[in-house]
Chains A and B, each alone.
Chain A
């Protein structure tokens, strides 16, 4: 069994998530793309755990999942607050600090 394809798949998913964060305008979809990037890095961590034969990579992936869960809770609460005051979930509309 070869682990290089897994790492390349992880890189591709990370890139797609990256492009999504840069191009999408809906804050919730931007968040989903961040999740995609976190998942891609998790795949790399689990693959390297298998490659090197110790479980530290899996522990790291586990911690990434915990942090992602906490991040999603706070991030979605912020999006809800912005939506309640501005009636929009677009990242372009929250631009008051620009002026």
Chain B
């Protein structure tokens, strides 16, 4: 029972965390905690086969699928806090507490009697005993499962399939479109600018600086901009002094005074990042 009393509070806390965390990725991580703890409880309850299946299928496959979809959905991963039905959240919590209270109170009343234990049933090995049952008593359900799995696979393929309505743009068509955009709106013909490279930072989340010292919004991925994880470029550009100080190269005082201040207007992104 030691494993149970250690894991039960962890599981309940992690499950409660799923209700309160804002980001879906954190909810997935907490769900992983619950599932792995459950696997350990299965091992304690003499179910070594389910212990392995719980880790391989649930934690390995299903949670990875969740995370995969979260990566695809990406920017929209946070939850909205606006209630569409007034008082729905409060009512849901009250009903949930009532439901849980009833269940726990009811289960607290009954006594399940002595535990028979699985020592006899697991005599020739848990997996062998499960296989004997699965391929004799439950063979029809097992066969039906195969139909279910095939239906699910085909269903996922049909749902994920997208019919192409317009012909795919080739290289010539793309080039022609670029020339047309340039003629009509003056959009730059070439590729997008690369992100900024600084003495102490070189990553895709830092915009490059334009000749006049302002950060170029085109040089960072717009997904990063939508997530609000773009770093402040002028902050890194200004760190030149600090680098020089660390290297032991102290520039002449006049030069420091003459160097133009370039971090006007974009310290806001830095503050956002810290928040």
Contact = CB atoms under 8 A, between A and B. Distances in A.
B179 interface: no
User: Chain B interface secondary structure, helix, strand, loop or mixed?
Assistant: helix
Nearest to B8: A9
A22 B73 contact: no
Interface string A40-83: 00110011011111111011011101111111111011111101
B62 A8 contact: no
B118 A49 contact: yes
Give the interface size bracket for A toward B. 35 or more
B62 A72 contact: yes
Nearest to B39: A39
A77 B138 CA distance: 30
Interface residues of B, number: 82
Contacts of B19: 16, 19-20, 23-24
Interface string B54-95: 100110011001100110110011111010100011001101
B66 A65 contact: no
Contacts of A61: 47, 50
Interface string B12-46: 10011011000010011001001100100110011
B57 A29 contact: no
B66 A80 contact: no
A59 B1 contact: no
B194 interface: no
Contact of A15 (B62, B100, B112, B129): B100
User: Chain A interface secondary structure, helix, strand, loop or mixed?
Assistant: helix
Contacts of B130: 55, 58-59, 62
Contact of A83 (B31, B73, B96): B73
A47 to B, nearest CB: 6
A84 B95 CA distance: 34
What are the 6 tightest A-B residue pairs by CB atom distance, in nearest-first order?
A53-B116, A15-B100, A19-B96, A22-B92, A70-B152, A77-B159
Interface of A: 1-9, 11-20, 22-26, 28-29, 31-33, 35-36, 39, 42-43, 46-47, 49-56, 58-59, 61-63, 65-74, 76-81, 83-84, 87-90, 92
25 contacts: A1-B1, A2-B115, A4-B107, A5-B1, A6-B41, A12-B104, A15-B99, A16-B15, A16-B16, A22-B95, A31-B66, A32-B28, A33-B18, A39-B34, A39-B58, A46-B42, A50-B46, A58-B130, A61-B50, A63-B141, A66-B149, A67-B148, A69-B62, A73-B65, A88-B76
